[in-house]
């Protein structure tokens, strides 16, 4: 079956998911089921992921507030997502980042889709990815895929959460100072302060949710003798993961806005050292955030869903 369009709003509630699953099962590889809905169908994403596995891409064609349309495209066999490519080889992750391909929040797409979106020649990018395998890594390579989920969760907290916490005060104060001194002559710096503060606020709340709710639960999943009925507050790990991925999308979008505002962190001519330091720290912060979200979205979360399904 080729592409299918389903208006979910006209279906009886009990028929919605079976109809979509049936259409997905019958659509040919490389083709899509497009669903039209009056609310965000994200829970369906996790249900499909849990029951059919990581064999599709999920792209919002329309993202509310009244109408949601999602293209669910069935992957052709053996087609890796860009999140999977990045998670298997840090040199390839570095290349994707250099090319401006978002593999953390947008990691569930195929390379073809990501290249199309960026206007890049997919054959050339494939060649470059192959060449990246021949590059000798600059430092020790960490094989995150081989780690236990508990160890990876601890690593994320100790490295990336700690980095965010250690830099929050500095970035909040520095962006405030720069906006106060130079904002009258350059209103972009006022917007930059507001976006920076918003990003820091969002992340502060987000880290607490991961450290207090989701990560402890993921660690419990690896505890011998763990039973699913011991969980509290949510029916499945997919629920908090969905919330965390929504937070990641929000943080990722704010980070992209900051990059655009600063013209890729290009320090304005004749700007003072404080502006230079702010731009430098914001770029460093974005780099850390990309790796942080990549480890969660592309490794920790899919593996936690897989593990819970097995229990």
Interface residue list for Fe ion (CB under 5 A):
210, 296
Give the integer Cα–Cα distance in Å for 286 and 249: 13
Closer Cβ to Fe ion, 90 or 289, answer by number: 289
Residue 137 C-beta: closest distance to Fe ion, Å: 24
- Report the run of H or E that residue 63 belongs to, with start and end: strand 56-63
Closer Cβ to Fe ion, 82 or 214, answer by number: 214
Give the integer Cα–Cα distance in Å for 239 and 153: 18
Strand order in the sheet with 32-37: 4-7, 32-37, 68-74, 56-63
- Residues 290, 104: contact at Cβ < 8 Å? yes
Residue 160 C-beta: closest distance to Fe ion, Å: 6
First CA to last CA distance, the chain: 34
Give the integer Cα–Cα distance in Å for 99 and 109: 15
Residue 130 C-beta: closest distance to Fe ion, Å: 31
Residue 210 C-beta: closest distance to Fe ion, Å: 5
Residue 171 C-beta: closest distance to Fe ion, Å: 17
Closer Cβ to Fe ion, 165 or 181, answer by number: 165
Closer Cβ to Fe ion, 181 or 208, answer by number: 208
Closer Cβ to Fe ion, 113 or 296, answer by number: 296
Residue burial 245-273, b: 16+ Cβ < 10 Å; e: rest: bebbbbbbebbeebeeebeebebeeeeee
Whole-number CA gyration radius for the chain: 21
Residue 3 C-beta: closest distance to Fe ion, Å: 34
Beta carbons within 10 angstroms of residue 231's beta carbon: 15
- Residues 166, 239: contact at Cβ < 8 Å? no
**How many Cα atoms sit within 13 Å of 157 on the Cβ side?**
16
Closer Cβ to Fe ion, 69 or 296, answer by number: 296
Closer Cβ to Fe ion, 52 or 303, answer by number: 303
Residue 194 C-beta: closest distance to Fe ion, Å: 22
């Amino acid at each position: 079956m080729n592409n299918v369009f389903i208006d979910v709003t006209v279906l009886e509630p009990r028929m919605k998911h079976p109809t979509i699953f049936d259409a997905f099962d019958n659509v040919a590889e490389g083709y899509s089921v497009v669903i039209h809905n009056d609310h965000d169908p994200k829970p369906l994403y996790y249900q499909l992921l849990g029951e059919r596995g990581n064999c599709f891409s999920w792209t919002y064609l329309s993202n509310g507030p009244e109408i949601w349309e999602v293209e669910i495209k069935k992957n052709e066999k053996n087609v890796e997502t860009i999140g999977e490519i990045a998670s298997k080889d840090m040199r390839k992750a570095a290349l994707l980042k250099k090319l401006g391909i978002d593999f953390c929040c947008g990691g569930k797409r195929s390379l073809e889709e990501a290249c199309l979106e960026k206007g890049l020649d997919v054959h050339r990018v494939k060649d470059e990815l192959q060449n990246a395998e021949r590059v000798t890594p600059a430092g020790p390579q960490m094989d995150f895929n081989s780690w236990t989920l508990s160890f990876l969760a601890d690593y994320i907290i100790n490295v990336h959460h700690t980095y965010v916490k250690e830099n929050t005060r500095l970035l909040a104060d520095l962006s405030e100072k720069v906006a106060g001194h130079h904002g009258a002559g350059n209103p972009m710096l006022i917007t930059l302060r507001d976006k920076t503060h918003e990003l820091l606020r969002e992340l502060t709340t987000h880290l607490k949710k991961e450290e207090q709710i989701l990560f402890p639960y993921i660690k419990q999943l690896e505890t011998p003798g763990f039973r699913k009925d011991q969980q509290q507050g949510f029916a499945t790990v997919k629920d908090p993961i969905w919330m965390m991925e929504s937070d990641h999308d929000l943080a990722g979008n704010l980070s992209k806005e900051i990059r655009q505002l600063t013209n890729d962190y290009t320090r304005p001519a004749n700007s003072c050292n404080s502006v230079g330091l702010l731009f430098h720290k914001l770029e460093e912060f974005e780099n850390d955030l990309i790796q942080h979200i990549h480890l969660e979205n592309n490794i920790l979360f899919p593996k936690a869903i897989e593990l819970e399904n097995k229990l």
